[in-house]
Amino acid sequence: MTKLSVNINKIATLRNARGGAEPNVIKAALAIQNYGAQGITVHPRPDERHIRRDDVYALKDAVYTEFNIEGYPNRDFLALIKDIQPDQVTLVPDGPDVLTSNAGWDCVANQDMLTDIVSELKAYKARVSLFLDPDPSQIEAAKLTGTDRIELYTETYANQYSSGAEKALAPFLAAAKEAKIQDLGVNAGHDLNLENLKYFRKTIDPLEVSIGHALISDALYYGLNNSVQMYLNQLAVE
């Protein structure tokens, strides 16, 4: 079964909008895990507009499933990873002014930098995943960095799904096949939701999906426990 890692950035966004400690990200992370999710994801950004650095330290002892930390690998981020030593680090190419992740790495242009960073992260005992567009040539280049996995950036799939699921998925299927050839694990994330997740899981069968905005939004209508169950059902093997 594909693992569900829930990104709790939006919990922190809501908390920060009012100030104070509610909703509490630690309490939310514990609840999400108790409801059956197999991981917690956070993406701390330099401006701390959602998850803050102190949240990440507090979550270190609260996450008893898989702790996945996403981010751009500047020195502050790498120092945080050294301190926390999460199960997985997902490297994204976002600059500090980016609202949300909107592109994968160019592993050809950034080959040397990524190779050095992947090596450093592995010294901290973290599994490494690179956020990538569904481009087989980039997957070949990603392999050369020493990364363990890739995370397919699924926004185009989500945007095109309603116009034709098979066509929308085609580049991701090609990318997943190349990843298998390169012996790289496949994760996926961005705009996956209750409408498009099941088809993606059945066809690509990723090791893990990271879902935040859609699941937390659904929790407003269905409740957090129900929403986690609904996403787990979409990932279940029939």
Helices 224-235 and 213-222, packing angle to 10 deg:
130
Architecture of domain 3-235: Alpha-Beta Barrel (3.20)
pLDDT of residue 156: 97
Tell me the C-alpha distance between 192 and 155, whole Å.
8
CB of 238 within 8 A of CB of 5? no
pLDDT of residue 1: 86
Please state the domain extents for the chain: 3-235
- Asked if pLDDT for residue 101 goes beyond 70, the answer is no
Residues classed as catalytic? 43, 70, 190
pLDDT of residue 100: 56
In this prediction, residue 95 has a pLDDT band, given cuts at 50, 70 and 90, of low
For residue 180, which phi and psi values (nearest 5 degrees)? -65, -40
Q: What is the mean pLDDT of residues 46-55?
A: 95
Q: What is the mean pLDDT of residues 81-109?
A: 84
Going by C-alpha positions, the residue among 233, 162, 175 that lies closest to residue 204 is 175
pLDDT of residue 103: 79
- Asked if pLDDT for residue 220 goes beyond 60, the answer is yes
pLDDT of residue 96: 56
Going by C-alpha positions, the residue among 207, 149, 219 that lies closest to residue 5 is 207
Reduce the DSSP state of residue 6 to 3 states and report it. strand
The residue behind tokens 């197999």 is: 38
- How many C-beta atoms surround the C-beta of residue 93 within 10 A? 19
- Asked if pLDDT for residue 128 goes beyond 80, the answer is yes
